[in-house]
Structure 1
């Protein structure tokens, strides 16, 4: 039975903590109080606003190589138009906060059900503010809201899950991984139809809908990525490269950068191979398996990426929160490691980013710790997923064995 009084008390606590922490976030992004370090809100007031001016005239920003998103990302950039009584930047922050609230509402709705838990809602409420102003100064929280809705639809509503995943993938590519754990063809079919429909609509309506593919291909090794640690250390031993703003992010340029970038792509291929093997070998599935698989997959593709931007952790927080909505889920330890990584991330960006750029001891230490926590979360998540779905519990006989045991007479 559900403890109704206890659940109401927990929900009240969740809403209270959410309201307090989000008030602080809004005061920071509106610059009532100034958050230390670089001003990350300028991405909205300058970059997003510039894209908005181009997009509202019916074309994509084809001359801007920093536009590296699928066509439906235009909807997120144009979304402040629904609040015409606010300026662009103010409207964007308000919508980001509303998307945050949608995620909380979805998690709170599922938490009190049998076999579910409100732990996931607490992960979201506590984790997002750890990223500081980055949480509301990027459109990733909007995409995460759609992804969370898709995952919670899960096996009960496969077509809805597929449609939401297909749409989200057209806003930012990573939600295509939501389909990894789907076992019903209806989910894949709905995703394909939705994604194809959205893509066709934008291709016909707005020139340059898929120019982002070329821009993404030409990216290098970003200074916060796992592979960048090679060059951070190498700079202390005479490596003659440099750090420059390139394709919208601060990247390493110079000797052997292409080798490390290629190695990162190879690691991504290895991760994909492991996930394919898991998909073929998995035999034990539970209601939480889809969420666990997606969380593990996004962790793998994040740590092997040439770019690990702070906002990527918004996605991971949303997925971890869904995993912890299931009492039987296996992602408790990876979720705790992720929360720690979020705290270190805000120390690294924006607070300590100047140290990262110059590759001093403090900056390298922060990156080693943050990326180490992400790697540890990835390894523990992959191990837990494999053990819960591929490796049969030793103490539990397989159904066929149990049937033979019941049919075999006991000799005297």
Structure 2
């Protein structure tokens, strides 16, 4: 049978993609199941101890109100309870299997999206390569499940705005940040669907499970997490007589002591400024292209991440997922920021869990890793923001005229 060169290339691509995914994910499973021991602290204890403890409380119909480390919106209970769907496995094993399935769902979505006209398989490759660079932490947190919902929402896009909105709303009740997916949505149906979904699910949780929104009160006394951008001030300060300390606080390793509240306040102000910039962008944007929805979401989550007082390693899973969606679009200008995020994943696994002792000690190696990783994220955020502005909010003089048609103020996704 004759097979032309183009057909051979199309055949090789999914084989190479799926083969790479299979080998790298097998390695991740071997690490989380402890067939091989990954360097650094055991990242699976969050599942076997913390998540399992929450599971025991949640299945009795209430949230873990006595545990201040429960800092998640109510739908997170579904992720924590999900291993119960596999009763033939112990809790941790079931969780790892479900994380693997969520990973596969993301790959399937990206692979399908990348095969359409004007699309590219780069997005699927970014996911396949970026995720294992983070090490076994990916399967030891529920963030990969949230990312699957977010990727599905963005790929639904303008074709199905109601579905996109519903998924974004559901994602926001899983872990808040997917609410940022709506930043670039131009159709009111997406916003309305998200609002209805959030209102319906939030009301259901509030009525059926006591303490659904207790997590809102557990954030106020947090310090500055040692891996965050603001923490760099204290890593340097420890070498010049800063008298604070590092401690386990609210479920993460944080800096506590003089000026911590000041730095945390500055981080909050930077987040407010970032949201202000996003609002200004929406007001000034005049060109909404098919990839703008994903680009805007990527920029928004990048800005939220770098200005946050906590940058946990699992946050990188969000960024890889959103970067991968952007790269599915051939015309997306996010290639450089997406590449920087993937590189930052490699540095992230070096600082956690491999070199976390050095990070906590604020030694030269630990500081070098943090400055590199956070520097990559800052450059990625600024570059992505500039590209988003350049491609969607150009000066009016640069807007192309449409021959023989009235000039439109906005090109909206999915317009008839």
Give the corresponding residue for 2:411: none
After superposition, residues 89-104 of structure 1 pair within 5 angstroms as 89-104=92-107
Separation (CA, whole Å) in 2 of partners of 1:382 and 1:317: 17
| 1:85 aligns to 2:88 (yes or no) | yes
Query: Which residue, 62, 65, 68 being the options, matches 2:68?
Result: 65
Give the corresponding residue for 2:109: 106
| 1:209 aligns to 2:212 (yes or no) | yes
Is the partner of 1:255 in helix, strand or coil? coil
Give the corresponding residue for 1:163: 166
Query: Which residue, 131, 134, 146 being the options, matches 1:131?
Result: 134
| 1:312 aligns to 2:315 (yes or no) | yes
Separation (CA, whole Å) in 2 of partners of 1:25 and 1:248: 24
Query: Which residue, 383, 389, 394 being the options, matches 2:392?
Result: 389
TM-score by length of 1: 0.95
Q: Structure 1: which 4+ aligned runs deviate by more than 2 Å?
A: 2-8, 392-404
Is the partner of 1:252 in helix, strand or coil? strand
Instruction: Note the alpha carbon deviations across 1:368-401, whole angstroms, 9 max, x for none.
Output: 0000000010011001100000115977644499
Query: Which residue, 256, 267, 273 being the options, matches 1:270?
Result: 273
Separation (CA, whole Å) in 1 of partners of 2:221 and 2:388: 34
Q: 1:402 deviation in Å?
A: 9.9
Separation (CA, whole Å) in 1 of partners of 2:248 and 2:397: 53
Query: Which runs of 5 or more structure 2 residues have no equivalent in the other structure?
Result: 408-416
Q: CA RMSD in A?
A: 1.6
Query: Which runs of 5 or more structure 1 residues have no equivalent in the other structure?
Result: 405-412
Separation (CA, whole Å) in 2 of partners of 1:336 and 1:402: 39
Instruction: Note the alpha carbon deviations across 1:202-244, whole angstroms, 9 max, x for none.
Output: 1111100000001123322100000000000000000000000
Instruction: Note the alpha carbon deviations across 1:21-74, whole angstroms, 9 max, x for none.
Output: 000000000000000101000000000000000000110000000000000000
- Shift of the 24–107 alpha-carbon distance from structure 1 to 2, 3 Å rule, reads same
After superposition, residues 152-231 of structure 1 pair within 5 angstroms as 152-231=155-234
Give the corresponding residue for 1:29: 32
Instruction: Note the alpha carbon deviations across 1:226-281, whole angstroms, 9 max, x for none.
Output: 00000000000000000000000101000000000000000001100000000000
- Shift of the 4–112 alpha-carbon distance from structure 1 to 2, 3 Å rule, reads farther
Give the corresponding residue for 2:154: 151
Separation (CA, whole Å) in 2 of partners of 1:247 and 1:282: 40
Instruction: Note the alpha carbon deviations across 1:153-201, whole angstroms, 9 max, x for none.
Output: 0011100000000001001000000110000110000000001111011
Query: Which residue, 365, 379, 390 being the options, matches 1:376?
Result: 379
Give the corresponding residue for 1:410: none
Is the partner of 2:233 in helix, strand or coil? helix
Separation (CA, whole Å) in 2 of partners of 1:207 and 1:395: 55
- Shift of the 97–119 alpha-carbon distance from structure 1 to 2, 3 Å rule, reads same
Q: Decide whether the 8 Å contact of 1:150 with 1:160 is kept in 2.
A: yes
Separation (CA, whole Å) in 1 of partners of 2:130 and 2:201: 32
Q: 1:350 deviation in Å?
A: 0.3
Query: Which residue, 335, 338, 341 being the options, matches 2:341?
Result: 338
| 1:232 aligns to 2:235 (yes or no) | yes
Give the corresponding residue for 1:44: 47
Count of matched residue pairs: 403
Separation (CA, whole Å) in 2 of partners of 1:325 and 1:273: 28
Separation (CA, whole Å) in 1 of partners of 2:389 and 2:272: 18
TM-score by length of 2: 0.95
Q: Decide whether the 8 Å contact of 1:7 with 1:112 is kept in 2.
A: no
Separation (CA, whole Å) in 2 of partners of 1:147 and 1:403: 36
